[in-house]
Structure 1
Amino acid sequence: MDFSATNEQRALEEEFSAFGREVLTKLAHRIGGGGVSIRDVWRECAQHGLHGLVVDQTWGGRGLSASAALAALEGLGYGCTDNGILFAMGAQQWSFTLPLIRFGTHAQQAGYLPRICDGSLIATGAITEPNAGSDSLALETTATGAAGGYVLNGRKTLITSAPIADWFLVFAATDSDSGIGSTSAFLVASRQPGVIVHEPLMKMGLAAADMGDIEFRDCRLDADALVGEEGGGYAIFSTAMEWERTFILAPALGTMRRQLERCIQHAQTRRQFSHPLGDFQAVAHRIVSMKLRLDTSRLLLYRVAWLKEQGRPAAQESALAKLQVSEALLESSLDALQIHGGKGYLVREGLECDVRDAVAARLYSGTSEIQRNNIAASLGL
């Protein structure tokens, strides 16, 4: 078994690391007050092929394998220090683009994927509701059959990029009976009559990733808005989540690697009591734990990527990866701040921002508790 990176993976990691460091970080920090809009950032990322990493070249994507995309995203996380923009782009790629690749008709793919890849369209998935978070089958949003299509009613909450998105992939109940076959997925335009997009929600971190609520009031949809089959929404959601749980946290590998290198440098050069900090076991052991988390996380993520390349299911493996990486990111972010002492608490150092951003990783794409439940169920418990 060869654990070394391929030449392609190394080249992609270096390419996206440079883009993240030299372009994306600078643009992201200028969003709003610096004269840069989120669409400016989106278009710049499109020029680099970021929105279409796993999209076929037919539609303007880069057509990367799962492991190659993982390497690119790790490099991006290493170079870009704005976790919010990385999260927002990941949400589009795994909750909207990937379902279209897997389940969309040729017409749907032709209509949306090229515009996703060129950055002219911002899109996201919409499943979470006020009363249906972890319980994704308890949807209260309904899509009722009507002449030539459906009528959509309900409300979604905590939807990434909702305030700025052009299109949503909305999951709604099409059957009054609850269960796996009761949910369907629909393409819905943000400016469509009957769609009300609410103001951005104030949150703890991930500042560049706007989140908000979407309301649907007698929103009429044509029949071709349906993605996949009626009643096939749960299969679409489950497939997307296997990818999202792994790949939306792929940039965290780069973040943790950057934190590790920064802490090693600090421990080697900062002196207290006439010794480098690294001489003290309390510091050195924290750094060892950071290294262990990084390497363990990387192995789990690449295992899922390998399974996807083999066309094999990875429900348990993706849940393990999501649980490990999200917990590791928060723990290593806290360790990095602690190692830097009072200096680490200062906003200008960026370490406290990493901590606030990392808290969300234990919540989105399924909480850590839900991942443990899923893993336990897969073990027959």
Structure 2
Amino acid sequence: MHLEERDIYHRFSKRIDGHPVPAPGYLTREEWQWAAGTGLAGLSVSQTYGGGGHGFAATAQAAEAFGRHHPDMGLVFAVLAHLFACAMPIAEHGDPALRERVLPRLCSGEWIGANAITEEGAGSDATALATRAVRDGDEYVLTGAKSFVSNGPIADVFVVYASTRPEFGHLGVSAFVIERGTPGLTVGEPFGKAGLVRCPAGELRLDGCRVPVGARLGADGQGAAIFQSAMRWERTCLFAAYLGQSERLLDRCVEHARERRQFGRPLAANQAVSHRIGRMRVRLDAARLLLERACARLDQGERAVLDVAMAKLAVSENAVATTLDAQHIFGGAGVREDAGIAKDVRDALPCTTFSGTSEMQLEQIAEEMGL
């Protein structure tokens, strides 16, 4: 880790540490404004538009600090999904007028962003979209439904993926920026989830929704490439927050093992406990090194497809394993809501699914190895 990146981690740790434990329920605008005020909502967006202008490695350090020092992964996920799946596609592929209109609002926290690609019949196969966008002069007309839009119920702007040339498969997908309140756009109420509860998610319906050509990101048919570009950010920098969560839990386990006494001696005196914690440390550091390598190669302009897939796989599976280990070490207290560990388990479980399942990462790894 370079000195600049280490400094970013410490700077954001100071900004985040001590933030009040959030109240039950969905995140609030006040919390969102707080997160934006620390710089988290625009970390990797150009400074021209009010962002931090950071690359992959530095952004990952700030995200790790967010996950380490904030007690709620629901808010952490919501802010980082807003940044990587909405703001960054606009920053990297929007035309100048669109960037100037939208990005300052996303970076400042005035607006909340969401990504709308998943459909009932298009989850892992994200390019098998039923949503259609038909060119009509200087506009596109979008019709369809999105089934799982994180931040959707509270979002002000959406990056929506639709098929413009279905016969071309993934080469016929395009991406559009649609603001809340656009005629034909209906935003659904939040639905219940097992984890990341404070980040509301819901459905999005498009019924003859008209948007100007200028709202399209990139060229017609570049949607799949734009989505994959966003996934490079998400699979590295968003998952860095789960490194922070794992370190937070590891520290708690070490403290608990030292202080908790059973059968007249500390838990740490039992090899079953100390060895489990040792494996947690090894697994965490291995995942962190993979992620740091992926970020470094992306910052050097490399494709880093293999590195990103390995990092996402390692970090997400470590997150799940670490939360389950922590629950085991804390015993009965680990399943009590007031201990917070059960919530961490629920918040970690989805991370082997979103941004590409573990199986998809393994397929990518095998392909990059020539298998």
State the TM bucket, normalised to the shorter chain: over 0.9
Instruction: Choose which of 283, 292, 298 in structure 1 pairs with 2:288.
Output: 298
Q: Deviations over 1:161-188 (max 9, x none)?
A: 0100011110100003042311000011
Partner of 1:370: 360
Q: Deviations over 1:218-256 (max 9, x none)?
A: 111111111100011111011111111111111111111
Q: Distance in 2 between matches of 1:264 and 1:100?
A: 43
SS where residue 109 of structure 1 aligns? helix
Identity within the alignment, %: 41
Q: How does 1:96-115 map to 2 (within 5 A)?
A: 96-115=86-105
Q: Report how many residues are paired.
A: 371
CA RMSD of aligned residues (A): 1.4
Partner of 1:204: 194
Question: Does residue 76 in structure 1 map to residue 66 in structure 2?
Answer: yes
How far 1:31 sits from its partner (Å)? 5.5
Whether the 8 Å CA contact 1:12–1:71 is kept in 2: the answer is: yes
Q: Give the counterpart letter for 1:125 in structure 2.
A: N
Partner of 2:345: 355
Q: Give the counterpart letter for 1:6 in structure 2.
A: H
Partner of 2:152: 162
Q: Deviations over 1:251-292 (max 9, x none)?
A: 111111111111111111212122211111111111011101
How far 1:21 sits from its partner (Å)? 2.6
Cα distance change on mapping 1:30 and 1:21 into 2, 3 Å: farther
The TM-score with structure 1 as length reference comes to 0.94
Partner of 2:112: 122
Q: Give the counterpart letter for 2:219 in structure 1.
A: E
Q: Distance in 2 between matches of 1:18 and 1:255?
A: 16
How far 1:356 sits from its partner (Å)? 0.6
Q: Distance in 2 between matches of 1:189 and 1:79?
A: 32
Unaligned runs of 5+ in 1: none
Q: Deviations over 1:88-115 (max 9, x none)?
A: 1111111111111211111111111111
How far 1:11 sits from its partner (Å)? 2.7
Q: Deviations over 1:308-353 (max 9, x none)?
A: 2101112221111111111100100000011011111110000000
Q: How does 1:1-381 map to 2 (within 5 A)?
A: 5-23=1-19, 25-26=20-21, 28-29=22-23, 38-381=28-371
The TM-score with structure 2 as length reference comes to 0.97
Q: Give the counterpart letter for 1:115 in structure 2.
A: R
Q: Distance in 1 between matches of 2:83 and 2:99?
A: 14
Q: Distance in 1 between matches of 2:289 and 2:240?
A: 11
Q: Distance in 2 between matches of 1:131 and 1:378?
A: 27
Q: Give the counterpart letter for 1:29 in structure 2.
A: A
Consecutive aligned runs of 4 or more in structure 1 exceeding 4 Å deviation:
none
Q: Distance in 1 between matches of 2:257 and 2:166?
A: 60
Q: Give the counterpart letter for 1:16 in structure 2.
A: F
Q: Give the counterpart letter for 1:181 in structure 2.
A: L
Whether the 8 Å CA contact 1:124–1:168 is kept in 2: the answer is: yes
Q: Distance in 1 between matches of 2:232 and 2:39?
A: 23
Q: Give the counterpart letter for 2:51 in structure 1.
A: G
Whether the 8 Å CA contact 1:20–1:77 is kept in 2: the answer is: no
Whether the 8 Å CA contact 1:19–1:76 is kept in 2: the answer is: no
Q: Distance in 2 between matches of 1:65 and 1:128?
A: 27
Q: Distance in 2 between matches of 1:199 and 1:178?
A: 33
SS where residue 348 of structure 1 aligns? helix
Q: Give the counterpart letter for 1:97 in structure 2.
A: A
SS where residue 60 of structure 2 aligns? helix
Whether the 8 Å CA contact 2:166–2:173 is kept in 1: the answer is: no
Q: Distance in 2 between matches of 1:159 and 1:111?
A: 22
Q: Distance in 1 between matches of 2:49 and 2:185?
A: 28
Q: Distance in 2 between matches of 1:343 and 1:180?
A: 48
SS where residue 282 of structure 2 aligns? helix
Q: Distance in 2 between matches of 1:178 and 1:377?
A: 23
How far 1:202 sits from its partner (Å)? 0.4
Q: Distance in 2 between matches of 1:30 and 1:127?
A: 28
- Structure 1, 161-170 or 243-252: larger mean CA deviation: 243-252
Q: Distance in 1 between matches of 2:236 and 2:43?
A: 15
Q: Distance in 2 between matches of 1:156 and 1:336?
A: 36
